[in-house]
Amino acid sequence: MSRASATVTFADGHQLFTLYNGTVDQLWTRLVDSLDVAWDELWGAYKGADFAATDAECTCGQDEPVTVSTDYGGGDSWMSWACRHCKAVTGRLVPDGYDDPY
């Protein structure tokens, strides 16, 4: 199993969720309201080869600093950026010390 849950926490405590894809070593950028939805929709889409469904972009420019935490590889967390309106991760997709592909 090379996928793990990931939680994105905004400065005011608001949380959104995605998955960490250990195969390509990065987060999926689409955020959803619960981990159940993440596993259902994101993992379901990935298994169905609907890769576009696991990605999202911020189009409003109101992304904010967030903390990403994942239980992948024994657990890791790092600072990134995300937009709660567009439900998209816009910043770092990998833990500190990993090469960011972006």
Least distance to Zn ion from the beta carbon of 58, Å? Answer: 3
Among 16, 58, 82, 89, binds Zn ion (CB under 5 A): 58
What are the Cα distances from residue 38, in Å, to 19, 30, 42?
Answer: 7, 9, 5
Region 65-94 residues binding Zn ion, contact defined as CB under 5 A: 83, 85-86
Q: Does 57 bind Zn ion (CB under 5 A)?
A: no
Amino acid identity, position 30: R
Q: What token pair was written down for 30?
A: 């689409």
- Give whichever of 58 and 94 is closer to Zn ion, judged by the CB atom: 58
